[in-house]
Amino acid sequence: MSNLYKTIVPGSTIGIIGGGQLGRMMALSAREMGYRIAVLDPTPDSPCGQVADVEITAAYHDINAIQKLASVSDVITYEFENIDHDALTWLHEHTYLPQGTELLRITQDRETEKTSIQTLGVPVAPFQIVTEEAELDQAVQSIGIPCVVKTCRGGYDGKGQQVIRNTEDVKAAYPLLQAGKCIVEGWVPFEKELSVIISRNPNGETKTLPLAENIHVDNILHQTIVPARVNQEVVEQAYSVAKIIADGLGLIGTLAVEMFLVGDEIFVNELAPRPHNSGHYSIEGCVTSQFEQHIRAVCNLPLGDTTLLTPTVMVNLLGEHVEPTLEQYELILSGKVHLYGKKEAKLKRKMGHITFLGEDVEEILQDLSKLTIWNEKAEVKG
């Protein structure tokens, strides 16, 4: 198989579908490695467009724009998973898309995603797929309350989800069916949420980033703590689960595997076939970041060392956090600040992140607890 793959050498142009912060950080890494960048995004001056050599502003399904991206790029990758399937198939047939379309097809739909993980022998929460109200009622009954209903396609950061805590909540989930089939998932009483970012190149070489512990607030990632505060057996189990999935699904590129830890047992929650917010810490925290690793994987280069250089806590800056008071700047600037160049600060919109490095994660967390921008109830904007 690997002879179908090309090695993309520095000086070549990498085309990225999607101009958000993940594309921006991929592009910044790629540029350091000597590549050029073209990007397709519907919004002009997108976070990635600002640092790209070629910016194509058009809808993702605009075939003329896709052709233009193809004509200036030596290899195509993507930074988000909800790409129009026809556009991606065209790219796969006409250009060089080493990641292929299959992993994206699987992860675009929670049903195929959960089923594929299960088929590989990896535990997931109990689930049922429903398409109408009566089926939803029945699934909630058989799975039991609490549970959560999610749209199978298109949801992110808790959008398209309804937690069912009592029988009255069931009706609140009915509108989700308007978006198509839904999944009813048993509620996992997790002690921690963990993630492994794994990259794999066409030779089948895999490397994982150090295991990350994630704290979500209102379904959005708030903090990533590395090393995760779990025992070594859990760390090994998490890496092994990620490797089973990456090899089993024939990953080329980067995959984030989000997991729940219950006792010493791991359940996989979801997959993202791209660099992930919970891997941002690796820019300063690891010898090779998730973005550089992704570029190496799609360019068919050997993967880099992912050793953790120092304990690290990454904190997201959302729209409601971006105007800290003067006193708070000192602590903020004791971390490494990344802002994504987004013009409008909307409520819950990811505007940037800060990585704090230190001797010990508990000490970093202690210092962070003094920083009120994340502690006070943020003023609602947008």
Residues that bind ligand AMP (CB under 6 A): 125, 148, 158, 185, 187-188, 190, 193, 216, 219, 258, 269-270
**Please, what is the minimum distance in Å from the beta carbon of residue 154 to ligand AMP?**
11
**Please, what is the minimum distance in Å from the beta carbon of residue 8 to ligand AMP?**
32
Q: In three state form, how does the secondary structure of the chain look?
A: CHHHCCCCCCCCEEEEECCCHHHHHHHHHHHHCCCEEEEEECCCCCCCHHHCCEEEECCCCCHHHHHHHHHHCCEEEECCCCCCHHHHHHHHHHCCCCCCCHHHHHHCCHHHHHHHHHHCCCCCCCEEEECCHHHHHHHHHHHCCCEEEEECCCCCCCCCEEEECCCCHHHHHHHHHHHCCEEEEECCCCCEEEEEEEEECCCCCEEECCCEEEEEECCEEEEEEECCCCCHHHHHHHHHHHHHHHHHCCCCEEEEEEEEEECCEEEEEEEECCCCHHHCCHHHHECCCHHHHHHHHHCCCCCCCCCECCCEEEEEEEHHHCCCCHHHHHHHCCCEEEECCCCCCCCCCEEEEEEEECCCHHHHHHHHCCCHHHCCCCCCCC
Decide whether 254 or 300 has the Cβ nearer to ligand AMP.
254
Decide whether 70 or 230 has the Cβ nearer to ligand AMP.
230
Judge contact between 340 and 24, C-beta under 8 A.
yes
Residue nearest to ligand AMP (CB): 188
**Please, what is the minimum distance in Å from the beta carbon of residue 275 to ligand AMP?**
16
Decide whether 219 or 366 has the Cβ nearer to ligand AMP.
219
Decide whether 219 or 372 has the Cβ nearer to ligand AMP.
219
**Please, what is the minimum distance in Å from the beta carbon of residue 188 to ligand AMP?**
4
**Please, what is the minimum distance in Å from the beta carbon of residue 126 to ligand AMP?**
9
Decide whether 30 or 188 has the Cβ nearer to ligand AMP.
188
Q: State the Cα–Cα distance between residues 251 and 75, nearest whole angstrom.
A: 16
**Please, what is the minimum distance in Å from the beta carbon of residue 150 to ligand AMP?**
6
Decide whether 186 or 358 has the Cβ nearer to ligand AMP.
186
Give 286's strand partners.
308
Decide whether 74 or 270 has the Cβ nearer to ligand AMP.
270
Decide whether 125 or 246 has the Cβ nearer to ligand AMP.
125
Cβ atoms < 10 Å from Cβ of 167: 11
Give 226's strand partners.
312
**Please, what is the minimum distance in Å from the beta carbon of residue 158 to ligand AMP?**
5
Query: Which of 198, 195, 232 has its CA nearest to residue 215?
Result: 195
**Please, what is the minimum distance in Å from the beta carbon of residue 55 to ligand AMP?**
30
Decide whether 6 or 181 has the Cβ nearer to ligand AMP.
181
**Please, what is the minimum distance in Å from the beta carbon of residue 209 to ligand AMP?**
18
